[in-house]
Amino acid sequence: MMRTIAIAGLLVATAVPAASAQPCEGELVQVTEYSGRQVYYVALATSGGEALVSWAVADPEGWRPPEFTISRVARDGAMASVSTPFDGFDDDGGLGAMASSGTTIVHPSIAHDVGVLLREPDGAARARIHLDDYRSIGKSGVRAHFDGSQFVVTWVGGPDDASVLKAVRFDSQGGQLDANPRVLGPAFAYSPWTATARIGGVTWVMWSTFASGDEEFVPGANPDLVGVRIGADGQILDAAPVVLAPGARGVVAAADGDTGLVLVMAPDGGFQVMTIDPAGAVTAGDQVTLAAEEFLLALLPSPGRDGFTMWTRRDTFTGTPVRIDGQVHARTISRTGAVETTPSLTLAGQGRAIATDGRDYVLVTVDETLAGDAGEERLTVRRLRGDTFPPSTVWTTLAAAPLTLTTTEFCSGPYEPYDGCQAGGPAGAGTLALIALGLVALRGRRARR
């Protein structure tokens, strides 16, 4: 049977089994790789010194599995796990990000409506709470944040032609504090970029939005980063959303006492660092340009230090046989928004998530060990002491899968030129990278609703 590999609709290669004598209009390419790599869904939170990792492995066809596992990993690496039905996923079909108070886990859940799952500290489901009706278009972007005393859950709701950002609070035990959701302001329906941070006693909720819904579809138009403050009593302290930065295509935030740090994605794809105080005064810091195929993992306050760290991941396909080399980088950012020019730490591994429990960093990676015709892939949790670089580490393996060296013959092309890549000629690094990406894309097919 013929197998097609595509990246964002681009036909890359078709596997041609020896038994089928179908002509190849492009070029026959042999690809040697370690087969057996898994597609992991991963979400991470920390609570009471433990790491809480929710994870699942896609089935062989790349579809979402029927259940996933929540693993509690202690500081000494000891692990306890509980399996749960696959409820608690986000708009893109992956696991929704968790937040924990130590006594309650809040897990956003998008099924036929917008809601949250309340879980026990061991991950067992306690209750599901309906928040809003599911949107017919756009995304809800439901997020949960624990600010030290209460959860703040935000999502996009309202009519399709008048989307708004809503919020509701829960106490540390999961009790709902607001009888009705609070409407914070207009929101961008299709890619809801939101962030929440507790800065100097108030909770800042920040998101990207257009002044007019009509602007969402104007080529070259960019939304503004706006925000509102929520007091400890739940009162909204701003009569209207405050414009914090124009032209912000994404937002990540973290807080360290009275100082908040905000990363916004500029229209050119780079990052602008900004500091924000409790009153909303914004000061521009350094700009950050990431390398090709480098992506943001998280922005975190530095445990045991006075400042922040920016964590990124970069995965590259190299060699024959095809292998995936991953690296995780940490850059120190000061309270004034000054970014280190070179990473303060580089770790091997394909980064999936990172968080801090106030003392340590907790990093989830996919790691490979390859030797001859066999190897092993592992989903691991590393605990890194946050007050030392290089940090001491404790490792825990959550899952492991064998890898086997295999060679498959592919028919490359024909396909249209795309982004500088063209078919024809000997199979070079570009062809190899496209086929390798195609192999991963095939296994990482978007999860079925």
Q: What is the pLDDT of residue 449?
A: 37
Under-70 pLDDT residues of the chain:
1-22, 211-217, 267, 413-449
- Rounded (10°) CA dihedral 12, 18, 24, 29: 50
CA within 13 Å, CB half, 306: 3
Residues sharing a CB contact under 8 Å with residue 218, sequence separation 6 or more, in sequence order: none
Q: What is the pLDDT of residue 134?
A: 84
Six-digit token string for 108: 């956003």
| SS3 state at 278 | coil
Q: What is the pLDDT of residue 421?
A: 39
Q: What is the pLDDT of residue 274?
A: 94
Backbone angles phi and psi of 62, in degrees to 5 = 90, 5
CA separation for the pair 72, 245 (Å, rounded): 38
Backbone angles phi and psi of 70, in degrees to 5 = -110, 120
Query: Are 166 and 157 within 8 A, CB to CB?
Result: yes
Instruction: Give Dmax over CA atoms of the chain in angstroms.
Output: 72
Q: What is the pLDDT of residue 5?
A: 37
Q: What is the pLDDT of residue 211?
A: 67
pTM: 0.85
Pairing relationship of beta strands 125-133 and 113-119 according to DSSP bridges: antiparallel
Q: What is the pLDDT of residue 430?
A: 44
